[in-house]
Amino acid sequence: MPSRKCLLCPRPAAAGGSRCTRCGGKRRGPRRHDANHGRLAKKALAGATVCALCGLPGIPSDPLEAGHIVALSQGGRSEPGNYRAEHRSHNRSAGARLARLARGRGGQKL
């Protein structure tokens, strides 16, 4: 089985990990959100009481947060029509699925 490449550089990842020993847990650069993200996210959450994906209300252990309908990595933009309220667990797992699809490892479709 070929070794997995580091998410941050072309070197092979450490065994069982997604980054090489040199990159470790370091993040490089800021997140890709632009200056308008915070303002647009607040607007998307204003008045939202339920998750757009499952229809359940937010709870303290899984609150609602603003998520992109079309992810930035898939060509989406930070504009008002591309945000919706979703549970934190849905928002974080969507990014993982998109990353797997982008690397060609399959996974669930959105």
Per-residue pLDDT of 38-75, as tens digits, reads 899 999 999 899 999 899 999 999 999 998 888 877 78
Structure tokens given for 74: 């898939």
Quick one: pLDDT at residue 69? 86
18-27, 56-65, 85-94: lowest mean pLDDT where?
18-27
Question: What one-character-per-residue DSSP string does 41-100 give?
Answer: HHHHHTT--B-TTT-PBPBTTB-EEEEESS-GGGT--SSGGGEEEEEHHHHHHHHHHHHH
What is the reported pTM? Answer: 0.57
Q: How many residues does the chain have?
A: 110
Neighbours of 39 (CB within 10 A): 11
4-8, 32-36, 99-103: lowest mean pLDDT where?
99-103
Phi, psi of 8 (to 5 degrees): -105, -20
